[in-house]
Amino acid sequence: MSNFRIGFGYDVHQLQLGYDFWLGGIKLEHEKGAVGHSDADVLIHVICDALLGAANLRDIGYHFSDKDPKYKGIDSKILLKEVMLLLRNEGYEVGNIDTTVCLQIPKVNPHIVAMKKCLSEVMEVEERNISIKATTTENLGFVGREEGVSAYCVALIYTI
Ligand SMILES: [Zn+2]
């Protein structure tokens, strides 16, 4: 009998002119980009937090401090790889993850196939177990005003 656990992640990053826009491990072409200590990949950050939460291993900021110069500008794929290692060291495997990105522009949908492929490789989890959804916020709030991007993730993990 498997032991199932569930986790949840939420994150926000500001969008500003002159920054790269990394999302789901790929770089989007856009005049604005996400601001953060790392590469500010909001989708990867919520996946990390949901996985860590499911395993009750604190959160992304606990493991990779935004005060630590070691993580300045770091590729979030490296952080996700590290989280997968932590998880598997505890005897967990990923069942599936389900995510939603909230972004007014640019459109996320054309990039979902590439993001899933990228995340599947980084996590060593089958693409069929990685769901990425996208929504605008109908021009409402900080997402609607194109001031930021947010994301949510739920993750199911289990012990083998
Ligand atoms: Zn973040």
Distance 59 CA to ligand 1 centre (A): 11
Distance 14 CA to ligand 1 centre (A): 10
Distance 11 CA to ligand 1 centre (A): 5
The mean pLDDT value of the chain amounts to 97
User: Residue 119 in contact with residue 93, Cβ under 8 Å?
Assistant: no
**Mean pLDDT, rounded, for 120-140:** 98
Distance 88 CA to ligand 1 centre (A): 22
Compute the distance between CA of residue 102 and CA of residue 13 in angstroms, rounded to an integer: 11
Each residue's pLDDT tens digit, 4-27: 999 999 999 999 999 999 999 999
Compute the distance between CA of residue 8 and CA of residue 12 in angstroms, rounded to an integer: 14
Token reading at 1: 């009998």
pLDDT greater than 60 at residue 3 = yes
Distance 79 CA to ligand 1 centre (A): 11
Q: What is the pLDDT of residue 160?
A: 78
Q: What is the pLDDT of residue 2?
A: 72
Question: pTM to 2 decimals?
Answer: 0.97
pLDDT greater than 70 at residue 1 = no
